[in-house]
Structure 1
């Protein structure tokens, strides 16, 4: 039976990092349902395989995007399998609760490696193919990329850097037909906090606090974010570039 989902990405190829769960998994599935061939990338092999089982158009590549040469491996794999790249979704990211009084150099380094350096190297490696396809890059930032976050200043700083990369790359690459935009989710139901090593009671308290502040009265769902990633990556929107779209249920307003 034919899919009822509009096939806006038919014959397109997309790379999605952090595809093992949360926003990355939702985005990989949504792109596949829209006709794209998707390469899902992440560190956790079993989680990626679960993502791949959701749709036959998803293939996976387990690796750490921060490893030396990882970006070239990702891009080469996608091109060898499908011959092109149309969309790069830089979704992989890490967070950390780290008050200034507890600043740890290794934590700062890891935050910037994952949230800033890895997306930069992936965009660099994919650029020749994005030029050929008039493709697009979607960077996944955070509402805290442009608002303060007590006890999370360095995480917020990495997302602020990613938003500035988005705008600067968009300006640089517009004459070549490559679009660059970002999505900035608010608090979303994902496993990013548990991956940061926080105990469940602390996670529950943080999410409850955030939920109470969100005007729409709920946390985000990964599908909420994935839907907008597809909209701004859609090849039928060639005039949209350099934008950071915040999806946070109105949290930015309070």
Structure 2
């Protein structure tokens, strides 16, 4: 019985922690050759050492104009082709609108929106003429207003709009473009946010009380949706959002 992604080469950005790390592990388990990218060299090397064969790490800062071409060049050199991309790298931001600086706004958009666009543009040039799959990791916040998250939400909303247009434009080439929109997910970033609240236990209960399925997501939930969209099972799926949020945005 063949694995779901046998023979596919996939680039994963932001792969050195959280959802990106778990997604890289799941893709590899499903047979993919994985090129993991991120800024944390030690964690990147640890990831590929844990995965073993069919894994390669490229240290990359997506704000560097040369990063995207370097990453895809490494994928082609290592595995012969680029079949899939997971645009997961993101910079978080929380804070009142009146206090945020425009420099911080630009930093968030530089990674979340411009980084995704740059990687997609480079992927289009690197992918074969007979198709491929791009999965953008957005957020429930692109669809639901939450106080003090406006800048982050706007950057993810930009990626959502980009996903729709890219899906239509690239369809004639057989390149599918979709997105996965996670809800609150138990990652190191979530843990740090909880620990910084006045009453972490109460905050955790409040978060869960707003989710119909009664728990926060785990990275494996998101990775499973990504694998589906990259696989041939989703051959007729493009321009679509999978909300992995326990029903949060259905309310």
CA shift at 1:47, angstroms?
1.6
Match of 2:112 among 111, 115, 132: 115
Match of 1:88 among 76, 85, 90: 85
Contact 1:32 1:55 in 2 (8 A): yes
Contact 1:86 1:133 in 2 (8 A): no
- The answer to whether the aligner puts 1:148 opposite 2:145 as a matched pair is yes
Match of 1:184 among 173, 177, 181: 181
Whole-angstrom CA distance in 2 between matches of 1:90 and 1:163: 12
Number of corresponding residues: 248
SS in 2 for 1:202: coil
Match of 1:163 among 156, 160, 172: 160
SS in 2 for 1:74: helix
> For each residue in 1:72-128, what CA deviation from the matched residue of structure 2 results, as whole angstroms up to 9, or x when unmatched?
111111111111000000000111112111121111011100100011111111112
Contact 2:56 2:78 in 1 (8 A): no
Contact 1:8 1:35 in 2 (8 A): yes
Match runs of 1:71-86 below 5 Å? 71-86=68-83
Q: Which residue of 2 aligns with 1:11?
A: 7
CA shift at 1:210, angstroms?
1.6
Q: Which residue of 1 aligns with 2:33?
A: 37
CA shift at 1:229, angstroms?
0.4
TM-score (norm 2): 0.93
CA shift at 1:131, angstroms?
4.0
TM-score (norm 1): 0.92
Contact 1:95 1:193 in 2 (8 A): no
- The answer to whether the aligner puts 1:211 opposite 2:208 as a matched pair is yes
SS in 1 for 2:73: helix
Question: What is the RMSD computed on CA atoms of the aligned residues?
Answer: 1.8
CA shift at 1:9, angstroms?
1.2
Q: Structure 2: which 5+ residue stretches go unaligned? A: none
SS in 2 for 1:150: coil
Match of 1:139 among 116, 119, 136: 136
Match runs of 1:46-65 below 5 Å? 46-56=42-52, 57-65=54-62
Q: 1:185 to 1:199 in 2, by over 3 A?
A: closer
SS in 2 for 1:107: helix
Whole-angstrom CA distance in 2 between matches of 1:199 and 1:185: 18
Contact 2:130 2:173 in 1 (8 A): no
SS in 1 for 2:37: strand
